[in-house]
Amino acid sequence: MVGVLASVDQRTQLVGENRLELLLFYLHSRHLFALNVFKIKEVVKLPHLSKIPHSHSKITGVANIRGESIPVIDLRQAISMSAVKYAEDCNLVITEYNRSVQGFLIGKVDQIVNMTWSDIMPPPSSVGKNHYLTALTKIKRDGQEQLVEIIDVEKVLAEIVEYEVDISEGVLDQGIVNEFAGRKILHADDSPTARKQVSDTLSQLGIEIVPASNGLEALNMLRGWADEGRDVEKELLMVITDAEMPSMDGYRLTHEIRNDSRLKNLYVVLNTSLSGSFNEAMVEKVGCNAFLSKFQPDLLVEEVQSRLKIVLNHT
């Protein structure tokens, strides 16, 4: 299954259509798990792994893939399942998140399915806060529905590589630093980890972050405020949205914003762990104002600061 990612043109056909593709697989159990194909570079049979002394307990070794050393995370162990011995059906999923390449050790690969984001459900609140799911969905198999658990990779990675939220010296323009306080930003992301990263960074500036767990929730907020007669375009400094979210993705959210006369001039930043040459194509197609890959606190602050300067120049 080498080369799961196809061409830019093929992938961008899904952009704005509220669709996604999922790689379904097992982790040596009856549970069916999934990762978004958009973030997968390739899937290969598990190669030889070299051990790294004193590495994180969830990193099981390093794989050499065509001359590139890739850290391998035991995904079963990373989501707090009991460890199992490697088997012949083990595979390595090579992914690109947040500008870094890593491999995930998984079990048997099942299939790739094409779905709509409206078929993707957030985890129920009853599961608590310690789970590793970003969403759930169901597929039909042998006439019966089977639950599919979509893994929150950002949470997995944040527990292995601690993220920074500190703003580097010299990034802030001291001439406008006092203008941040009281500004509002709507942030839509299905990952609690990603929402916390943005909030922890921008709250240092006094910015109020209004969180939404998916695009539909964000859109309902925006339309609700507009229905109340509020000038949403004036109240919000910007909308920051993830690309892939249950119920409604960031592409569709942007499309709906651009087609609502009360919201169409909102400044929308696509903030996603996706990286690669297709980013510009995605932004151009859906009409976002900017693209920002996760997670870079300085670049996030610079983007917000640039937008604030434009707003101040027009007031």
User: How confident is the model at residue 39, as a pLDDT?
Assistant: 79
Spatial strand order in the sheet of 208-212 = 208-212, 184-188, 236-241, 268-272, 290-293
User: How confident is the model at residue 8, as a pLDDT?
Assistant: 36
User: How confident is the model at residue 153, as a pLDDT?
Assistant: 87
Please give the average per-residue pLDDT across 216-230, as a whole number: 97
Please give the average per-residue pLDDT across 286-313, as a whole number: 90
Strands 49-50 and 236-241: unpaired
Dist CA 177 CA 171 (whole Å): 10
- Whether the per-residue pLDDT at 31 is higher than 70: the answer is yes
Q: Which residue has the higher pLDDT, 165 or 242?
A: 242
Tell how many helices (H) and how many strands (E) occur in the chain.
9, 16
User: How confident is the model at residue 128, as a pLDDT?
Assistant: 65
pTM of the complete model: 0.77
Q: Say if CB 106 and CB 79 are below 8 A apart.
A: no
- Whether the per-residue pLDDT at 2 is higher than 80: the answer is no
Binning pLDDT at 50, 70 and 90, where does residue 275 land? low
192-202 and 297-313 helices, crossing angle to 10°: 60
251's CB contacts (< 8 A; 6+ apart) are: 15, 16, 17, 18, 243, 282, 285, 286
- Whether the per-residue pLDDT at 239 is higher than 60: the answer is yes
Q: Which residue has the higher pLDDT, 7 or 168?
A: 168
- Whether the per-residue pLDDT at 288 is higher than 60: the answer is yes
- Residue 243, SS3 per DSSP: coil
Residues constituting the chain: 315
User: How confident is the model at residue 1, as a pLDDT?
Assistant: 45
Q: Tell me what the pLDDT averaged over the chain comes to.
A: 86
User: How confident is the model at residue 6, as a pLDDT?
Assistant: 42
Q: Which residue has the higher pLDDT, 179 or 122?
A: 179
Phi/psi of residue 249, nearest 5 degrees = -85, 175
User: How confident is the model at residue 126, as a pLDDT?
Assistant: 72
- Whether the per-residue pLDDT at 291 is higher than 70: the answer is yes
Which residue ranges form the domains of the chain, and what is each CATH number? Answer: 17-159 (2.40.50.180), 184-314 (3.40.50.2300)
Q: Which residue has the higher pLDDT, 202 or 11?
A: 202
Task: Locate the DSSP E strands across 38-130.
Answer: 40-45, 49-50, 59-65, 68-74, 91-97, 100-106, 109-116
Please give the average per-residue pLDDT across 132-159, as a whole number: 89
Dist CA 29 CA 15 (whole Å): 33
Pick the range with the lowest mean pLDDT from 57-61, 169-173, 242-246: 242-246
User: How confident is the model at residue 4, as a pLDDT?
Assistant: 39
- Whether the per-residue pLDDT at 217 is higher than 80: the answer is yes
Q: Could you tell me what percent of the chain has a pLDDT over 70?
A: 90
Please give the average per-residue pLDDT across 29-47, as a whole number: 89
Residue type for position 35 = L
- Whether the per-residue pLDDT at 13 is higher than 60: the answer is no
Pick the range with the lowest mean pLDDT from 6-10, 119-123, 126-130, 304-308: 6-10
User: How confident is the model at residue 45, as a pLDDT?
Assistant: 92
